[in-house]
Copies of this chain bind each other. A is one copy, B any other.
Amino acid sequence: MMEQIQESIQRRAAEIEGIIKSYLPAEAGPQRTVLEAMNYSVLAGGKRLRPMLMQETYRMFGGRGREVEPLMAAIEMIHTYSLVHDDLPAMDNDEYRRGRKTTHVVYGEAMGILAGDGLLNLAWETAMRSFSVSGQDAGFVQSAEDPTRDEAVRMRRVAGAVEVLARKAGVYGMIGGQTADIEAEGEGQVSGEQLLFIHEHKTAALIQAAMMAGAILAGADKEQVLQMERCAYDIGIAFQIQDDILDVTGTVEELGKPIGSDKKNQKQTYVTIMGMEASVREVERLSGEAVKILASMEGDSGFLRELTAFLIHRKK
């Protein structure tokens, strides 16, 4: 069963790869270096988990259009810029990610900063394309004709989805978590409460954005969107605790990165604070809750439930 779902995930990831690529810039012009650095960063691989969750949530709520695609590309650009800036010397100072040299190591620190800025801005440029049905430029040239009812309803949904994405990516979401993380490292001792704040914001917030934006775009109602927020919270925190567990129990081959790096960096994790047994139990509890929420939805949640189980039981 795990092989089957893995194959299904890979097929979807390949489709998403094509969507993301179609929104990446051509490497031309006097600003070519930053465009190359941006593409290098985005095309480093990765699970494409956030666009996948967005698309599947959109489908679960009956979404059938293509207006979700620019937002799928946008959320992956946001995720990528956050990694590029996180890796900078002044931040985590990481030289490798996913087995490749990090962006600033290849292109220099100034280009690392600019590539991150470029991706974050391109994310919003790209997101704005959702306002046009075709996924092409919204264009500042306003039609002389009145908007149809369909166009008006779609614009309202897109505005809502982009707003949620912006909020969850910002200082009350992901950037807030990064700030708390950087400060916690400086302080040494981290409380369970601080760690939860960091995980909730640095990891879970963008996963919430993915599922909430997908739901909003498909026309889900307020209650359904809030349930997706809760479900994504469970998935995000379970995902992060599983990361902490794998850092202790995984093998180098499975993870593709040094084992015990958290311990070496004296990083406080869910495992060091709560213990291994409690961590495993918490992952089970959270993923169970997420699957239960998904199962209670009207639409077909089969793939999302399998994906959740897969993420939690992954070995890397």
On A, residues with C-beta under 8 Å from B are 25, 29-31, 33-35, 38, 81, 85, 88-91, 108-114, 116-118, 120-122, 124-125, 128-129, 131, 137-143, 146-147, 149, 151-153, 155-164, 166-167, 169-172, 175-180, 182-183, 194, 197, 201, 212, 216, 219, 221-222, 225
- Given the interface contacts A118-B175, A176-B29, does A170 sit within 8 Å of B125 by beta carbon? yes
Contacts of A147 in B (CB 8 A): 149, 152-153, 155-156
A227 nearest CB across to chain B (Å): 13
List of B residues within 8 angstroms of A180 by Cβ: 30-31
Q: Are B153 and A146 in contact (CB under 8 A)?
A: yes
Name the residue on B nearest A185 (C-beta): B110
Q: How far is the CB of A95 from chain B (nearest CB, A)?
A: 16
B222 close to A175 (CB less than 8 A): no
Task: Find chain B residues with CB under 8 A from A129 CB.
Answer: 163
Contacts of A171 in B (CB 8 A): 25, 31, 34-35, 38, 118, 121-122
* Contact A179 to B85, CB < 8 A, known contacts A113-B113, A162-B128, A216-B140: no
Which B residues lie within 8 Å of A143 (CB)? 156
Given A33-B183, A91-B113, residue A121 in contact with residue B160 (CB < 8 A): no
A86 to chain B, nearest CB (A): 9
Closest Cβ–Cβ distance, residue A157 to chain B (whole Å): 6
Assess the A163–B141 pair: CB atoms within 8 A: no
Residues of chain B with a CB closer than 8 A to A158's CB = 159
Q: How many chain copies does the complex carry?
A: 2
Q: From A111, A158, A171, name the one whose CB has the most chain B CB atoms within 10 angstroms.
A: A171
Decide: A166 and B25 in contact? CB cutoff 8 A: no
B197→A163 contact, CB < 8 A:
no
Contact status A113-B139, CB under 8 Å: no
